[in-house]
Amino acid sequence: MRICVVGTGYVGLVTGTCFAENGHTVFCVDVDQAKIDGLKENKLPIYEPGLEDLVSGNQQIGRLNFTTDLAGAMDQAEVVFIAVGTPQADDGSANLKYVWAVADAIRDNAKDSKVVVIKSTVPVGTNEGLMERLNSGPIQHYGASNPEFLREGLAVEDCLNPERIVVGVRDQHTEDTLRELYAPYTSIGVSLLVMGPESSEMTKYTANCLLACRISFMNEMANLCEQVGADVTQVREGIGMDSRIGPKFLNPGAGYGGSCFPKDTRALMSLARDNGVELRILPQVDNVNEVQKQLFFEKLSDTIGHDLNGVTVAIWGLAFKPQTDDIREAPALLTIQNLLEAGATVRVYDPEATENVRSIFGDQITYCEDMYGALDDAAALAILTEWEQFERPDFNEIQKRLQSPVIVDGRNMYEPREMERLGFTYNSIGRQPVRPAVVAGQTVE
Ligand code: NAD
């Protein structure tokens, strides 16, 4: 099939590329000329494992095309996906201005009837609004909802191996078109769930909000574990093996971030308010998360144990999670902000997200190209993203570089007992802090 994907960000670029990989001809459209120019030369605007090879391979054989010309791209496509951003508005609702701009452009430029599919995460009722806008023009179009469930960092894998595909449709033609589009998946057994657009839109929010809820719940349990002498890692294992619960999304930490959970929980609250429904759990999920980010800073400052003014602190991990350069609502941002306000000097390292953080903090902090270099003269190391390269570091090198062997770990990367043996002061989430069992500065085995 011939597909136009409007919005070439994390979702549009990955889904468009995967459609091309599945044999469709894809035109990815964006208003950002620099992004499109870069993509034409296989320069990716985001970091996502495995994506670069797929973009260059499919571009080379002409199945994947990048353009800023929506009208021209639409001329060649039967299906148009809308994958633009739906950021949070001031009142917490989803700001749909980009979605509506694309809908209006489709109505004003399409020369024939299209199946227009919203892939962006949008509140219930958006699909109905889309149909009204599209069909206020001379041509009657078809509309569908098809939310995206990919995870940043695993986006290509998720997109090529979806656990299920959800489509919200109102008519047979649209359903048939989407069934044909997704035939490469359904033919190997992936379920395609067909429902009304309202249920499809609601499915996406319910999924993200439930996942956010699990994380906030575990963060509260972790905070309680610290006070009662329990170890949340053991508790997590104990409950994760219960098939009614399952092991995923039970990791406590320094709070969730990213482009989805924070804004989607708030957008769902806003939708509920608009519909006169009082949601009681969700506001607390959001609230617990904001507090958890702040608690991490307090843990850091308590562990250092004195006024932070003039103190150097090293941070490993800036992205909101590993395998991405996305820093939207990342806990590291608040930690850096708090440290700067307290008068600390901040040295940071992240394998992929440095440039994005530089665009926020400029020369207020020091960006290091080497994870150990970030530690020089620091009073403590704070860990905020669980990148694989932090899993088994050279602890001798860490001790040599840090002023004092102090690690505050927002991602529970190490074993407290082992850290104690190695001579670290180590404070993590939901576990008891430890202090050195050997004299600081002594070589560790
Ligand atoms: P993004 O900010 O990375 O990308 C959006 C892109 O749309 C940008 O490149 C922007 O230039 C472009 N754009 C804006 N207006 C445009 C227009 N009129 N015409 C063409 N292009 C335009 O956003 P994203 O992270 O890809 O998210 C997109 C949507 O998908 C959001 O609704 C988000 O909630 C949802 N979603 C995101 C993820 C994720 O992990 N990032 C996962 C599932 C769903």
Residues 6 or more apart in contact with residue 193 via CB below 8 angstroms: 164, 165, 166, 167
**Ligand 1 center from residue 354 Cα (angstroms):** 21
130-178, pLDDT tens digit by residue?
A: 999 999 999 999 999 999 999 999 999 999 999 999 999 999 999 999 9
**Ligand 1 center from residue 437 Cα (angstroms):** 50
Determine the residue of 127, 259, 264, 327 to mutate for testing ligand 1's pocket, defined as the one with the most ligand atoms within 8 A of the Cβ atom.
259
DSSP 410: T
Tell me the C-alpha distance between 12 and 78, whole Å: 17
Same domain membership, residue 185 and residue 111:
yes
Same domain membership, residue 90 and residue 152:
yes
**Ligand 1 center from residue 99 Cα (angstroms):** 10
Same domain membership, residue 256 and residue 120:
no
Give the side-chain half-sphere CA count within 13 A for 366: 17
Is any atom of ligand 1 closer than 6 Å to the C-beta of 121? yes
Determine the residue of 8, 47, 84 to mutate for testing ligand 1's pocket, defined as the one with the most ligand atoms within 8 A of the Cβ atom.
84
Indicate the pLDDT class of residue 439, thresholds 50, 70 and 90: low
**Number of folded domains that form the chain:** 2
Same domain membership, residue 229 and residue 112:
no
- Last residue within a domain, chosen from 195, 214, 236: 195
Nearest of 33, 11, 416 to residue 226 by alpha carbon: 416
Note the pLDDT of residue 224. 98
Same domain membership, residue 157 and residue 89:
yes
Instruction: State the closest ligand 1 atom to the C-alpha of 12, by its place in the atom list counted from 1.
Output: 26
- Last residue within a domain, chosen from 136, 165, 195: 195
Percent residues over pLDDT 90 in the chain = 97
Do 384 and 315 meet the contact criterion of CB atoms below 8 Å apart?
Answer: yes
Burial class of 187 by CB neighbour count within 10 A (0 to 12, 13 to 18, 19+) = exposed
Instruction: State the closest ligand 1 atom to the C-alpha of 68, by its place in the atom list counted from 1.
Output: 20
Same domain membership, residue 253 and residue 110:
no
Note the pLDDT of residue 341. 98
**Residue 209 is among the residues annotated as catalytic for this protein:** no
Instruction: State the closest ligand 1 atom to the C-alpha of 32, by its place in the atom list counted from 1.
Output: 11
Same domain membership, residue 396 and residue 361:
yes
**Ligand 1 center from residue 279 Cα (angstroms):** 27
β partners of residue 409: 383
Same domain membership, residue 164 and residue 273:
no
Note the pLDDT of residue 443. 52
Note the pLDDT of residue 260. 95
- Its domain, for residue 74, covers 2-195
DSSP E strand boundaries for 326-428: 345-349, 366-367, 380-383, 406-409, 425-427
191-234, pLDDT tens digit by residue?
A: 999 999 999 999 999 999 999 999 999 999 999 999 999 999 99
Is any atom of ligand 1 closer than 6 Å to the C-beta of 260? yes
Burial of 341-378, coded b for 16+ CB within 10 Å and e otherwise, reads ebebbbbbbbbbbbebbeeebeeebbbbeebbebbbeb
Same domain membership, residue 248 and residue 148:
no
Indicate the pLDDT class of residue 240, thresholds 50, 70 and 90: very high
Please state, rounded to an integer, the average pLDDT across all residues of the chain.
96
Which H or E run contains 227? helix 197-228
**Is the pLDDT confidence value at 306 over 90?**
no
Ligand 1 atom 30 nearest Cα: 120
**Ligand 1 center from residue 120 Cα (angstroms):** 7
Is any atom of ligand 1 closer than 6 Å to the C-beta of 30? yes
- Last residue within a domain, chosen from 144, 166, 195: 195
Note the pLDDT of residue 300. 98
**Is the pLDDT confidence value at 438 over 80?**
no
Same domain membership, residue 109 and residue 47:
yes
- Domain harbouring 391, CATH code: 3.40.50.720
> What is the arithmetic mean of pLDDT over 5-24?
97
Determine the residue of 4, 6, 10 to mutate for testing ligand 1's pocket, defined as the one with the most ligand atoms within 8 A of the Cβ atom.
10
Instruction: State the closest ligand 1 atom to the C-alpha of 151, by its place in the atom list counted from 1.
Output: 40
Do 293 and 255 meet the contact criterion of CB atoms below 8 Å apart?
Answer: yes
Same domain membership, residue 157 and residue 35:
yes
Same domain membership, residue 237 and residue 108:
no
Is any atom of ligand 1 closer than 6 Å to the C-beta of 101? yes
Ligand 1 atom 20 nearest Cα: 30
**Ligand 1 center from residue 225 Cα (angstroms):** 38
